[in-house]
C-alpha cells in the first residue's frame, strides 16, 4: 500500500499507489503524486513493475506517472504495459512526457475502451469494468487460471510416483499396471485466486462483478455513512457500501482505502464495515504489506 489517502494527502497518508506482486509480475495501480518515493520507502524497486494500471485521470490517481515513467528508464526496465481509460489518452501522453529525460523503457500503451479482458499472461487474465464516477473510470480484476492439484493418496493407490506424475500431468493419461489412469482420477481442480481493485465510483453493478469471489478486494471507502450524500454527489463509496459489496460477493479479505482527509480515526471505518461484513477487514495504512490469503489445499 504505497498511498491510502484521497484528493489531499496528509502527514500520514500519501496520494494513492498500490503495487500488487503476483509471482513474477508487478501491477502498479493508480500511482498518485509521490509514488516513486513511497516505493523507495517500501523497498519496492521499479524493476518489479510489469504493468501500470490507471482507473481514471483524477490527480490523486495519476500524478505519480511522470516520476514512475522516468524511474523505469533510469533503472533500465525493458518493457512495461500501461492500461488506462482510452478517453484520457491526451492526459496519459502529457504525463509520460511531462519533462525531458532519456527514455529507454518501452512503455506499451494498451488503452481500455470497454468492459472485458485487457491482458492475458502467466498470471491469468486482467479484466476491466466501467465504474460510475464523474469522469470515465474502470476497475480491474485479476483472475488466475484454474489448475489441478495431484492427490498423493490417489497417486499411491494407482502406484504412480516420480517422473510419472509429471508425465501424467502433461499428457493427461498414463498406463499404470496395465490400466489407463486419467489425470482427473488422481487430482482435483484448484480454482485460481482472484484479486479486485475498485477505486472512485458510486455503487453500481460492475462493482459487484469485479468483487465476485475475490480473495482480496482493495476498494475505496472515502466516506463514512454520515456523509453518504457527499459520497453520492462526488461519485464515491462509504465504508458500509464497500462492506456490502464484500459480503454479497463472497470476498475473503476486504481492504479499505482512499480515505478523505476529513477523518482522523481509521477505527471508525473498521467499525462501520464490520457491521455488514464478517470476514477479514483491513483498514489500510501507507506502506502496509497485505498478503493475498491462500485457499485451503485439497487433501
Note the pLDDT of residue 191: 87
In this structure, of 73-82, 155-164, 233-242, 285-294, the range with the lowest mean pLDDT score is 155-164
Residue with more model confidence, 164 or 289: 289
Mean pLDDT of the chain: 95
- What Cα–Cα distance (Å) separates residue 55 from each residue in 7, 93, 108, 252, 291? 15, 16, 17, 23, 22
- Which tops the pLDDT comparison, 151 or 286? 286
* The pLDDT of residue 295 is above 80: no
Position 201 scores a pLDDT of 98
- Catalytic residue among 60, 200, 215, 286, which? 60
3-state secondary structure labels for all residues of 22-74: ECCEEEEECCCCCHHHHHHHHCCCHHHCCEEECCCCCHHHCCCHHHHHHHHHH
Could you read off the pLDDT of 236-279 as tens digits, one per residue? 999 999 999 999 999 999 999 999 999 999 999 999 999 999 99
For the entire predicted model, the pTM comes to 0.90
Instruction: Compute the distance between CA of residue 16 and CA of residue 64 in angstroms, rounded to an integer.
Output: 9
**In this predicted model, what pLDDT tens digit does every residue of 102-150 receive, in sequence order?**
999 999 999 999 999 999 999 999 999 999 999 999 999 999 998 888 8
* Cβ atoms 50, 72 nearer than 8 A: no
Between 155 and 82, whose confidence is greater?
A: 82
pLDDT of residue 178: 86
pLDDT for res 299:
57
What are the chain's domains?
18-146+191-283 (3.60.15.10), 148-187 (no CATH)
Q: Which three cell numbers stand for residue 176?
A: 499404470
Asked if the model's pLDDT at residue 293 lies above 80, the reply is yes
Per mean pLDDT, which range of 142-146, 186-190, 222-226 is the poorest?
186-190
Is residue 50 within 8 A of residue 80, CB to CB? The reply is yes
Is the confidence at residue 226, as pLDDT, over 90? yes
Pairing of strands 253-257, 216-220: parallel
Residue 297, pLDDT > 80, answer no
CA angle 291, 215, 135 (to 5 degrees): 100
Rg (CA), the chain: 21
For the question of residue 60 being annotated catalytic, the response is yes
Q: What percent of the chain has pLDDT over 90?
A: 86
Amino acid at each position: 500500500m504505497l498511498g491510502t489517502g484521497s484528493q489531499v494527502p496528509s502527514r500520514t497518508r500519501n496520494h494513492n499507489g498500490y503495487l500488487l506482486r503476483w509471482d513474477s509480475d508487478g501491477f502498479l495501480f493508480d500511482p498518485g503524486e509521490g509514488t516513486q518515493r513511497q516505493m523507495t520507502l517500501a523497498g519496492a524497486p521499479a524493476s518489479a513493475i510489469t504493468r501500470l494500471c490507471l482507473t481514471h485521470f483524477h490527480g490523486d490517481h495519476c500524478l505519480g506517472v511522470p516520476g514512475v515513467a522516468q524511474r523505469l528508464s533510469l533503472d533500465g526496465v525493458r518493457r512495461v504495459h500501461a492500461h488506462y481509460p482510452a478517453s484520457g489518452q491526451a492526459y496519459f501522453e502529457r504525463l509520460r512526457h511531462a519533462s525531458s529525460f532519456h527514455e529507454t523503457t518501452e512503455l506499451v500503451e494498451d488503452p481500455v475502451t470497454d468492459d472485458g479482458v485487457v491482458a492475458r499472461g502467466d498470471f491469468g487474465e486482467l479484466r476491466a469494468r466501467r465504474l460510475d464516477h464523474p469522469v470515465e473510470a474502470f476497475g480491474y480484476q485479476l483472475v488466475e487460471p484454474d489448475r489441478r492439484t495431484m492427490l498423493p493418496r490417489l497417486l499411491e493407490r494407482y502406484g504412480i510416483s516420480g517422473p510419472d506424475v509429471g508425465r501424467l500431468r502433461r499428457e493427461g493419461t498414463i498406463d499404470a499396471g496395465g490400466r489407463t489412469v486419467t489425470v482427473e482420477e488422481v487430482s482435483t481442480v484448484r480454482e485460481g485466486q482472484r484479486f479486485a481493485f475498485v477505486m472512485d465510483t458510486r455503487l453500481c453493478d460492475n462493482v459487484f462483478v469485479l468483487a465476485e469471489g475475490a480473495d482480496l478486494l482493495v476498494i475505496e471507502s472515502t466516506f463514512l455513512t454520515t456523509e453518504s450524500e457527499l459520497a453520492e454527489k462526488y461519485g464515491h463509496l462509504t465504508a458500509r457500501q464497500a462492506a456490502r459489496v464484500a459480503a454479497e460477493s463472497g470476498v475473503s479479505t476486504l481492504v479499505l482505502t482512499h480515505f478523505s482527509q476529513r477523518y482522523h480515526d481509521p477505527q471508525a471505518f473498521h467499525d462501520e464495515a464490520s457491521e455488514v461484513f464478517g470476514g477479514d477487514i483491513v483498514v489500510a495504512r501507507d506502506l502496509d504489506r497485505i498478503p493475498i490469503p491462500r485457499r485451503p489445499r485439497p487433501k
